[in-house]
Structures are given as C-alpha cells and as structure tokens.
C-alpha cells in the first residue's frame, strides 16, 4: 500500500489515522480539499498538492485541475523556492561547503575524468542523466540546458523524506543488474530476469539497446557470455526500467534497526535544512535523493522543495504541529493558517 503514494485514499487513511491518534478531528474542505485539523483551541490547515502526468513529465498544482490525475499529499505550508532545491550545481556547492558527500561535478571535459554521467542543473529541463561515459570527452555539454559532468557512482538509489531536517522514511531501489553464470549470454540473463518479473516485453534485445552506454562502460555486448559471479549493471535505480524492482523497499529511518547509512543522512538533513528560507524552515518537508555505494556510504544528488508526500511522514507532522495529547493545557502554539 505504501508504494501507492499518488493514491488519494492512501493519503487520507494515513492522515486520518495520525490525527485520530493525536486526539484530533479531521475535516476536508469540499472545494479546495484543504485538510482542517482541530483539537481544542489548536487548529492547523494542510494544503493539498496534485499531480498531472504529462508526456514531458509530472507537474505539481495546488488546485485540482482537469488534467490532474494523481495526488501528491497534504503539506503544512505551500512549497517554497530556493536555489539549492532547483539547481543541482547550487545544491552541490552547498553540500560541499557543509562537508557532505556529493559526487564531484565539473563543466570541462578532461582526459583524467573517467566514468561520468551528464546531468542538467535544472531538474525539469530534461532526462535525469545521460551516460554513463568512459570519459567526459565522449559527450559535449549542452550549455544552454545547463548540463554538467558528474562522477558516476555505482550503487543503490535512495529517496529520503525529511521533516524539519530529520529523516523519517525512505525508499531504496537496487541498481538494475544481472549476475553471470559462466554459460549464459548477457541477453539470455536479461531475458530470464524480465520473465522473472512477469514482463513479456520489451524484448531483452530492445532493452539492452536502450542501455548501450552501460554496456559500453561494462565492456560487454548482448552476445557476451558473462563469467560466473560477475555483476553487470544495466541502469540506475528508480529510473523506471524493466529491470527495476516492481516495488521499492520502504524503510522507517527512525526505527532502532535502521541501516548504518541512516546516520550520515540524518546529519545531512540537519545541514541541508539551513539552506531553506527561514520563513518556511520550521514547516519544511524535503526529499533527498542519494546513491548508497558498495561500502554503504550515501552520496547526495539533489533535494526537492515540493516533493510527493510519503504517507509515513504524517505522524511526525501531526505530532509536532498539533502536539501530544494533553498539550491543550499549555498555551496554544502559533500554527500555519
């Protein structure tokens, strides 16, 4: 159920459960779908966000327009805007100054630069990445699109939702790959992997043709017999390829058994919160994207100011803004209207 983040009723169930657990009352406005939450003298309004899935990508709206066909959740404040959330290079500069691990970026090709991706500084201006390439000289940058080179890091993709800088939950997706058996060709391995996911298509050959950059980097072709135990990586996690897992692994990052890389991300969330304008900092839900490398180290890629809300963050939001049961005996907090 938690994978259905665009389902209105999934959000409604989790928000309602959180409000009732705090002893509050939930009221939805029929015209705007704003969520009014009350408990004694305390009240707050959560603002809805909608999604329109269009051919050039998903777009957010704070109104239910005719082309909206997805729900992004309720937010305690309307999304703000700041450089580090809309410009990947600004994000990297801030992360570097804060001592956070982020893949190296540069604008000029060089012989010493190998195993790189090409990204756009503006997330909405095109695909997430091009490549990977053996060297930066294999792809000339499109300066008008704000392209830059980024060091390619192998690993699993992670999305982390941070409420006021604290990581609440995450989604982990393994990097798409197959493992050789010493007898099968790469195309055979991919065919079996696709069939194991219940996918009749696209054919393995079509899929591999879309991953030519990864094949070139790995030094293989569809006809290569992959040696036993060798892992051949064929994409990046969360890119929607047929080899992506059908469901992400959802993680509670406040649990006692959280993974080791959760602690560096907790420090990152607190540091990145300082980039948020002070007017909205105390009510900020941030989405961080990162790669977890083979040593379990997180490498930060970007942050988003208007993310799809993960239903697991509602308890944290309601507990902080509404307060625990019995808090109505205290002076009412100043809450967003």
> pLDDT grade, residue 337 (50/70/90)?
very low
> pLDDT grade, residue 328 (50/70/90)?
low
Closest listed residue to residue 91, CA positions, set 21, 134, 150, 49: 150
As a CATH number, domain 80-103+154-174+245-305 is: 3.30.470.20
Mean per-residue pLDDT, 199-225: 87
| Whole-number pLDDT of residue 57 | 63
What is the value of pTM for the model shown? 0.88
| Whole-number pLDDT of residue 322 | 85
| Whole-number pLDDT of residue 145 | 83
Q: pLDDT averaged over the chain?
A: 86
What confidence tens digit (pLDDT) does each residue in 74-115 have? 998 877 789 999 899 999 999 999 999 999 999 876 655 789
Q: Could you tell me the residue ranges of all domains in the chain?
A: 8-77+312-329, 80-103+154-174+245-305, 177-233
Q: How far is CA 332 from the centre of its chain?
A: 35
What confidence tens digit (pLDDT) does each residue in 125-134 have? 345 789 999 9
- Which residues, other chains included, contact 260 with Cβ-Cβ below 8 Å and sequence gap of 6+? 296
Closest listed residue to residue 91, CA positions, set 305, 265, 302: 302
- The alpha carbon dihedral of 271, 277, 279, 283 has a sign of negative
- The CA radius of gyration of the chain, in Å to the nearest whole number, is 22
């Amino acid at each position: 159920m938690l994978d259905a983040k665009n389902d209105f009723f999934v959000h409604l169930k989790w928000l309602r459960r959180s409000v009732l657990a705090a002893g509050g009352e939930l009221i939805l406005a029929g015209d705007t779908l704003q969520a009014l939450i009350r408990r004694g003298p305390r009240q707050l309004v959560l603002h809805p966000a909608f999604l329109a899935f269009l051919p050039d990508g998903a777009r957010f709206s704070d109104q239910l327009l005719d082309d909206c066909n997805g729900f992004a959740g309720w937010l305690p404040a309307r999304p703000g805007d700041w450089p580090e959330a809309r410009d990947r290079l600004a994000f990297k500069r801030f992360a570097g100054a804060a001592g956070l691990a982020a893949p190296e970026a540069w604008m000029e090709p060089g012989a010493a630069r190998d195993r790189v991706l090409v990204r756009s500084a503006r997330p909405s201006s095109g695909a997430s990445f091009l490549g990977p390439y053996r060297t930066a000289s294999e792809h000339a940058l499109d300066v008008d699109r704000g392209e830059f080179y980024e060091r390619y890091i192998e690993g699993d993709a992670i999305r982390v939702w941070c409420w006021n800088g604290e990581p609440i939950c995450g989604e982990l997706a393994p990097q798409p790959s197959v493992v050789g058996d010493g007898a099968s060709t790469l195309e055979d391995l991919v065919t079996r992997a696709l069939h194991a996911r219940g996918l009749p298509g696209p054919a393995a050959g079509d899929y591999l043709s879309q991953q030519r950059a990864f094949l070139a980097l790995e030094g293989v072709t569809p006809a290569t017999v992959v040696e036993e135990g060798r892992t051949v990586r064929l994409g990046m996690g969360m890119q929607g390829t047929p080899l992506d897992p059908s469901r992400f692994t959802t993680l509670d990052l406040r649990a006692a058994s959280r993974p080791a890389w959760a602690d560096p991300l907790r420090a990152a969330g607190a540091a990145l919160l300082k980039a948020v304008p002070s007017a909205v900092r105390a009510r900020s839900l941030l989405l961080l994207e990162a790669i977890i490398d083979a040593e379990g180290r997180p490498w930060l890629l970007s942050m988003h100011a208007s993310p799809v809300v993960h239903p697991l963050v509602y308890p944290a939001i309601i507990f902080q803004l509404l307060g625990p049961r019995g808090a109505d005996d205290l002076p009412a907090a100043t809450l967003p209207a």
